Amino acid sequence: MSMQIFGLAVSRGVAIGRAVLVASSRVDVAHYFVAPEQVQAEIERLKAARDEVVAELAVLQAELPADAPSELSALLDVHLMLLRDEMFIGATRQWIAERHYNAEWALSAQLEVMARQFDEMDDDYLRERKADIEQVIERMLQSLARGSGRGLPLPVGADAGAMRDFGGEQPLVLVAGDVAPADMLQFKRSVFTGFVTDVGGTHSHTAIVARSMDIPAVVGAREASRLMRQDDWVVIDGDAGVVIVDPPPMVLEEYRFRQRHSELERARLDRLRHTPAVTLDGQAVELLANIEMPADAAAALQAGAAGVGLFRTEFLFMNRGDDLPGEDEQFEAYREAVAAMKGLPVTIRTVDIGADKPLDRLSAAELRHGQALNPALGLRAIRWSLSEPGMFRQQLRAILRAAAHGRVRILVPMIAHMSEVRATLEAIARARRQLDDAGKPHGPVEVGAMIEVPAAALQVQSLLRHFDFISIGTNDLVQYLLAIDRADESVAHLYDPWHPAVLRLMAQTIATAGRMGRGVAVCGEMAGDPAFTHLLLAMGLRSFSMHPSRIAVIKQTLLRADTRKLAARLPQVLDAEDGAKACAQWLGDDASPA
């Protein structure tokens, strides 16, 4: 039966496909299709993993001390019984044989099926046995990982397009409770064409990465992963934030039409790539790119970006366990981005670890379980870097070395205190001295501050005595100004970039930087949203940084703007009583030529 599920629209476009339900903790499990001739070998991998875990548990059981609690031995019995259960292994094998799923994917698909069966049981004791299944499958996944690269969506060297053909005449969409930002990076190389999550806000990092990859997505859909079944046909309407399960043929046809239409629209916008970004009244505007990985620089250049305005380097550090990238690895990554931009400036932000971007899965789980009481207000971004001075200087040395190969700027996230400014500038100076001592070449850099904490915005004049430029991170500025957790869907309706307090603070910040003759950019999501382009131009902004996929549409919007006329309309909007009125007033008249 057809059903609509409402969530938050976070990444535009339409995806149509069959639902693949994946437990949040297993979103990073490899998902790929195996070639028909490799199906048997994949089944053997599964069996080998099963046999290894059986042997492991048998040894554990044999070596249990005599005084061990009897429950422990009983638990091992249950796990061994499950592993030997032909129904469980047979059903998992079927995912491989019939769907051509890889063994890890087959296991997580089977886990989803069994978890639901357990959830529906009346008997408390039996219902709790779900944990046993989870543990057994976790052990098998670990065993598979020891044998091959778990965590990669495709085997190294595999080609996503080719893999897709084996099992996938039908497109697939991922449905999960949650997807961590770092896992999103794997999406591009995975078999999925869209995703739906139960939790998350429009400005969560998961949503931001989805937008940057142009993947249709709906987050905060609450019960979606419970209401949908494995294999349901699903339409993800990323523009409206709606998921339609089992759509009637007429609805499906309408969405297929919209899919084709947006492809045509995209092709039309692509033609603007080489058009200079200049308004009707001759104001040149700088359109920069936000990137997460050095490889994204190619898309930035392709989209016609004038440089990188925000390189979120923390993505190099996530999901690495204890194996964090050292100075040389980071240097290579930064140099790669610099080289790819072919002489255009690259703004490298020092790591913004913390809040919804913890270092690894373990801390992600801790955050979910509330161990860090208020992570967005806690040890995050520059606070984290200053608490790890060795790692901070390592990153700074890597950036300074990359600066010998092209135009590099350093951007410091979440600055709020003068003591942080001093400590950061001292760390940069010290990193430089260390490079001199080591005889390693380094280059000049401009240093900028992100304006994300209201205190920084209110004190921008003092900050600009120490920094060369500023970049307004509106995602966090809105979060901290309005006290709304950007990743929490339950307060997402209050996350309002149109709030007059937000607009006034931004206008004031941009004006101050302008008076002081310093560069000011906006690199939050507002910069890539055409609803705000004219308003930001009216405030005097001439530098916008956004995901490469947004550059064409923003350029199209500014090409039609006359900044003098826009500026004349600004005071009224800043005086609006609330966000709804500010929005209606601005966009209401905005339809008329600016």
Q: Which of 214, 476, 496, 525 binds Mg ion (CB under 5 A)?
A: 476
Query: Which partner in Mg ion, ligand PEP, none is near 208 (CB below 5 to 8 A by kind)?
Result: ligand PEP
> Is 523 assigned a catalytic role?
yes
Site string for ligand PEP, 399-438 (x = CB under 6 A): ----------------------------------------
* CB 119, min distance to Mg ion, A: 37
Tokens of 127: 């219902």
Q: Does 473 bind Mg ion (CB under 5 A)?
A: yes
Please say which residue, 360 or 452, places its beta carbon nearer to ligand PEP: 452
Shorter beta-carbon distance to ligand PEP: residue 349 or 534:
349
DSSP strand pairing (192-197 vs 233-237)? unpaired
* Binders in 257-276 for Mg ion, by CB under 5 A: none
Contact status: 216 vs Mg ion (CB under 5 A):
no
Q: Please return the burial class of 474, using the count of CB atoms within 10 Å of its CB with bins 0-12, 13-18 and 19+.
A: buried
Going 76 to 81 to 87 to 91, the CA torsion angle's sign is positive
Among 243, 523, 552, 566, binds ligand PEP (CB under 6 A): 523
- Continuous segment of H or E residues that includes residue 411: strand 408-412
Residues in CB range of 203: below 8 A, 6 or more apart? 475, 478, 479, 486, 487, 495, 524, 525
Any contact of residue 211 with ligand PEP (CB under 6 A)? no
Task: Please choose, out of 49-57, 308-316, 356-364, 471-479, the segment that lies near Mg ion by the rule CB under 5 A.
Answer: 471-479
Examine residue 533 and tell whether it contacts ligand PEP (CB under 6 A).
no
Q: Which CB sits closer to ligand PEP, 11 or 474? A: 474
Rg of the chain on CA atoms, in Å: 26
Determine if 529 is a binding residue for ligand PEP (CB under 6 A): no
Q: What's the CA angle centered on 14, arms 290 and 31, to 5 degrees?
A: 75
Cβ 289 to ligand PEP, closest distance in Å? 12
Residue 183 within binding range of ligand PEP, rule CB under 6 A: no
Q: Does 292 bind ligand PEP (CB under 6 A)?
A: no
Rounded to 10 deg, the angle between the 249-270 and 551-559 helix axes is 70
Classify residue 35 by its DSSP letter.
Answer: P
Nearer to ligand PEP, 26 or 312 (CB): 312
- Shortest separation between residue 268's beta carbon and ligand PEP, angstroms: 28
Kindly write down the DSSP assignment for every residue of 283-351, as one continuous string: -B-EEEEEESSGGGHHHHHHTT-SSEEEEEGGGGTTT-TT----HHHHHHHHHHHHHHTTTS-EEEEPP
> Which of 358, 524, 528, 579 is the binder for ligand PEP (CB under 6 A)?
524
Pick 42 or 525: Cβ nearer ligand PEP: 525
When binding is defined by CB under 6 A, the residue of 212, 474, 509, 549 that contacts ligand PEP is: 474
352 binds ligand PEP (CB under 6 A): yes
CA atoms within a 13 Å half-sphere pointing along the CA-CB vector of 29: 27
- Known catalytic residue at 583: no
| Candidate list 205, 442, 534, 547, residue with the active-site label | 205
Dihedral angle sign, alpha carbons of residues 487, 488, 492, 495? negative
Burial of 120: CB neighbours in 10 Å, binned 0-12, 13-18, 19+: exposed
Q: Which of residues 303-332 bind ligand PEP (CB under 6 A)?
A: 310, 312
Residue that is written with structure tokens 């994949």 in the block: 42
For residue 284, the 8-state DSSP code is B
Contact 545, 290 (CB under 8 A): yes
Q: Which of 92-100, 468-476, 531-539, 566-574 is the region at the interface with ligand PEP (rule: CB under 6 A)?
A: 468-476
HEC secondary structure over 47-109: HHHHHHHHHHHHHHHHCCCCCCCHHHHHHHHHHHHHHHCHHHHHHHHHHHHHHCECHHHHHHH
- The residue range among 71-79, 470-478, 492-500, 561-569 that interacts with ligand PEP, by the rule CB under 6 A, is 470-478
Q: How far is CA 88 from CA 81, 109, 178, 567, in A?
A: 10, 12, 26, 66
Q: Site for ligand PEP (CB under 6 A): which residue of 237, 296, 360, 452?
A: 452
* Catalytic option among 31, 523, 547, 583: 523
Smallest CA-to-CA distance from 474 within 516, 515, 514, 507 is with: 507
Nearer to Mg ion, 408 or 478 (CB): 478
Among the candidate windows 43-51, 79-87, 157-165, 472-480, which touches ligand PEP by CB under 6 A? 472-480
Separation between Cα atoms, residue 104 and residue 150, nearest integer Å: 8
* DSSP 8-state code for residue 410: E
List binders of ligand PEP among 255-274 (CB under 6 A). Answer: none
Which of Mg ion, ligand PEP, none binds 523 (CB below 5-8 Å, type-dependent)?
A: ligand PEP
Asked whether position 448 contacts Mg ion by CB under 5 A, the answer is: no
User: Considering only CA atoms, which of 515, 433, 417 is closest in space to residue 466?
Assistant: 417
CA angle 202, 237, 215 (to 5 degrees): 65
The DSSP element (H or E) to which 499 belongs, if any, is: none
**Measured from the CB atom, is 137 or 199 closer to ligand PEP?**
199
Site for Mg ion in 51-90 (CB under 5 A): none
Residue found under tokens 């019939």: 98
The answer to the question of residue 177 lying near ligand PEP (CB under 6 A) is no
The answer to whether residue 448 forms part of the interface with ligand PEP (CB under 6 A) is no
CB 46 within 8 A of CB 106: yes
Q: How far is the CB of 57 from ligand PEP (least distance, A)?
A: 43
Q: Does 473 bind ligand PEP (CB under 6 A)?
A: yes
**For residue 573, which amino acid is it?**
V
Q: Which is nearer to ligand PEP, 312 or 383 (CB)?
A: 312
**Do residues 212 and 549 lie in contact, with contact meaning Cβ atoms separated by under 8 Å?**
yes
Distance CA 288, CA 307 (A): 5
Single residue of 28, 112, 327, 476 touching ligand PEP by CB under 6 A: 476
525 makes contact with Mg ion (CB under 5 A) = no
Site of interaction with Mg ion (CB under 5 A): 452, 473, 476
- Catalytic residue numbers read 205, 523
Site of interaction with ligand PEP (CB under 6 A): 208, 310, 312, 352, 452, 473-476, 523-524
